[in-house]
Structure 1
Amino acid sequence: MRAGRLKGAGKRALCLLLIASLPILPGCWDRKELNEIALIRALGIDRTEDGQIEMTLLQAIPQRVGTDSGTGGGGKQQQMVLSARGVTIPEAQSKLQEKMGRRIFMGHQEVVVLGKRLAKTGIWEALDYFARHPGLRKDAFVFVTESSPKEIFETVAPGETISTGTLYKMVKLERAVNLTLMRLLQEVSGDAEAAGIPVVMKVNDTTLAMDGTAVFRGDKMVDHLDRKAAEGLMWIRNEFTTRMVNTRLPGERGYVSMEVVRSEIELIPKIEGKKRRILLKVTSEDDVRFNGTRLTLYHPSNVDRIARAMERILRDRIRQTVEKVQKKDRADVLGFAGAFHREYPEEWAKVKDRWNEQVFPRLDVDIQVRVHIRRPGVTDRPAGLPEEKVKER
Structure 2
Amino acid sequence: MHCYRKLLLVVVAGFSVLVLTGCWSRIEINDNAFVTVMYIDRPEDDQFEVSLGFPLPNRMATGSMSTNTSNGNSYSIVTKRAESIPVAIRKIRSDLSREITWGHCRVVVVGRKMAEHGISQLLEFASRQPSFHTKSYLFVSMATGQDIAKLTPVFERLPSEIVREFAQRHVTLGTTIKDFLQAEAAGGDMVAGLLTLGDVEMISEKGKVSRWVGTDGAAVFKAGAMVGDLDVMQMRAGLWLQGNMKSSLNSLRSPKDNKIISFLIQSSKASIKPHVQGDRIWFTIDVEAEDDIISSESQLNLLDPENINMLEGMLTEQLNGRILKAIKATQAIESDAFNFGRILEWHYPKVWEKNKNQWRDIYKNCEFVVNSKIFVRRTGTEKNSVTSK
Separation of aligned partners in 2, 1:262 and 1:158 = 29
Is 1:39–1:61's contact at 8 Å kept on the other side of the alignment? no
CA shift, 1:288, in A, is: 0.9
Report the alpha carbon displacement of residue 179 of structure 1 after superposing the two structures with TM: 1.6
> Of 17, 29, 33, which aligns to 1:34?
29
Letter in 1 for 2:341: A
Unaligned segments of structure 1, at least 5 residues: 1-5, 387-393
CA contact (8 A) 1:83 1:96 kept: yes
Equivalent-residue separation in structure 2 for 1:300 and 1:32 (angstroms): 66
Residue 371 in structure 1 maps to residue 374 in structure 2: yes
Alignment-derived partner of residue 129 in structure 1 = 125
- Secondary structure at 2:364 match in 1: helix
1:57 aligns with 2:47: no
Deviation at 1:287, TM superposition (A): 1.0
- Residue ranges of structure 2 left out of the alignment (5+ in a row): 200-209
The TM-score normalised by the length of structure 2 is 0.87
Give the equivalent residue in structure 2 for 1:3.
Answer: none
**1:340 alignment counterpart:** 344
Partner of 2:206: none
2:261 maps to which residue?
Answer: 256
Taking only the aligned residue pairs, the percentage that are identical comes to 23
Distance 1:51 1:57 in 2: 20
Which one of 214, 221, 231 corresponds to residue 216 of structure 1? 221
User: CA-to-partner distance for each residue in 1:332-371, whole Å, 9 max, x for gaps?
Assistant: 1223212322332222211111111x11001111222221
Offset at residue 108 of structure 1 (A): 1.2
Alignment CA distance shift 1:65-1:41 (3 Å): closer
- What's the counterpart of residue 47 of structure 1? 42
- Which residues in structure 2 correspond to 1:1-393 (within 5 Å)? 25-63=20-58, 78-190=74-186, 193-204=188-199, 205-327=210-332, 329-356=333-360, 358-386=361-389
Aligned residue pair count: 370
Secondary structure of 1:252's partner?
coil
Aligned-pair RMSD on alpha carbons? 3.0
Query: What letter corresponds to residue 245 of structure 2 in structure 1?
Result: F
Q: For residue 30 of structure 2, what is the amino acid of its counterpart?
A: N
Distance in 1 (alpha carbons) for counterparts of 2:376 and 2:24: 61
Q: CA deviation at 1:210?
A: 0.7
Provide the rounded CA distance (Å) in 1 between the counterparts of 2:313 and 2:256.
Answer: 14
Contact 2:112–2:141 (CA<8 Å) still a contact in 1? yes
Aligned equivalents of 1:239 and 1:374: distance in 2? 19
**Could you tell me whether the CA contact under 8 Å between 1:242 and 1:261 is conserved in 2?**
yes
Counterpart secondary structure, 1:261: strand
What's the CA shift string for 1:208-249, capped at 9, x where partnerless? Answer: 101111111121111111111101122122222221111113
Contact 2:256-2:298 within 8 A present in 1 as well: no
Match of 2:205 in 1: none
Q: Which residue of 2 aligns with 1:390?
A: none
Normalised to the residue count of structure 1, the TM-score between the two structures is 0.86
Q: Deviations over 1:131-159 (max 9, x none)?
A: 00112122211111122222212212223
Higher radius of gyration, 1 or 2:
1
Cα offset for 1:174? 4.5
Q: Give me the whole-angstrom Cα distance separating, in 2, the residues matched to 1:30 and 1:375.
A: 59
